């Protein structure tokens, strides 16, 4: 990120063995291929390209690199996350399903058991039982009998979730507040995100560290892979009274 060079005259990508990505998607180049291509593009090696003297520009690139690593997608909009969970790969910017699926969903589970999928308890959005009412004592093993002490769980008449009682480590929703000019009649909203789905037929393997007990040889096993599916779009909202 610390070097830049303008190429003049321009060189067609096809001349150096590249083709334009389909549908405008961003593709990551292999570093060795990129380094071998530089002399064909500009007649210089990477070592000959001068360093950027604009420190603010370098800091901005570093900021984007950190954001990609913490929030993603680090490997482009259609990335694959291999041999680890999405929750382990990224620290921020994640939303979990409000309710876990019946057939099991290890979206946020670490790859502890490679043989089967485990649904982590901390992804279940549920109410936290309230502590026993002050002044009342219960015997060991007994539960307080009044409703307040037991906790009432989620309200049946609303889809709203009480975030103060949400025990999930990964939130299921987020909100934002903003202001617009009072004369504005409408606003255009654009939202972009990615949905990660478990990819089963991928053929990506790794060598198991523990040897097979019967044969004594190391095994090739399939790793867990998550496919990112880009989502989002634009919509125009009229600014008028009402929901």
- Give the tens place of pLDDT for each residue, 187-199: 999 999 999 999 8
Which H/E stretch holds residue 205? strand 205-211
Q: In the beta sheet, which residues pair with residue 220?
A: 207
What percent of the chain lies above the pLDDT cut of 90?
21
The DSSP letter of residue 135 is: T
Q: Taking the CB of residue 157, how many other CB atoms lie within 10 A of it?
A: 5
How high does pLDDT run on average in the chain? 75
The pLDDT tens digits of the residues spanning 97-118 come to 777 544 444 554 443 333 344 4
69 has a pLDDT exceeding 60 = yes
Instruction: Say what the pLDDT of residue 195 is.
Output: 93
In the predicted model, is pLDDT for residue 150 greater than 80?
no
- Compute the C-alpha angle 93/97/100, nearest 5°: 140
User: Helix (H, G, I), strand (E, B), or coil: what is residue 96?
Assistant: coil
Q: In terms of pLDDT, which residue wins out, 109 or 16?
A: 16
Q: Average of pLDDT values for 178-194?
A: 93
């Amino acid at each position: 990120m610390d070097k830049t060079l303008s190429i003049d005259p321009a060189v067609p990508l096809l001349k150096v063995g590249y083709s334009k990505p389909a549908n405008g998607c961003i593709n990551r180049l292999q570093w060795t291929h990129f380094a071998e291509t530089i002399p064909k593009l500009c007649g210089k090696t990477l070592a000959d390209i001068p360093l950027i003297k604009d420190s603010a520009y370098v800091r901005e690139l570093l900021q984007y690199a950190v954001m990609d690593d913490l929030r993603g997608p680090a490997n482009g909009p259609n990335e694959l996350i291999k041999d680890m969970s999405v929750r382990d790969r990224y620290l921020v910017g994640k939303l979990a399903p409000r309710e876990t699926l019946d057939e099991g969903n290890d979206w946020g589970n670490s790859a502890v058991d490679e043989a089967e999928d485990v649904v982590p308890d901390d992804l279940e959005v549920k109410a936290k039982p309230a502590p026993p009412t002050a002044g009342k004592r219960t015997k060991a093993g007994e539960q307080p009998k009044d409703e307040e002490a037991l906790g009432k769980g989620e309200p049946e008449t609303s889809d709203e979730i009480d975030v103060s009682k949400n025990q999930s480590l990964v939130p299921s929703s987020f909100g934002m507040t903003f202001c617009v000019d009072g004369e504005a009649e409408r606003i255009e909203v654009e939202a972009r995100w990615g949905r990660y789905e478990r990819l089963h037929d991928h053929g990506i393997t790794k060598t198991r560290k523990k040897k097979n007990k019967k044969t004594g040889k190391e095994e090739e096993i399939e790793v867990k892979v998550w496919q990112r599916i880009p989502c989002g779009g634009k919509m125009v909202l009229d600014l008028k009274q009402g929901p």
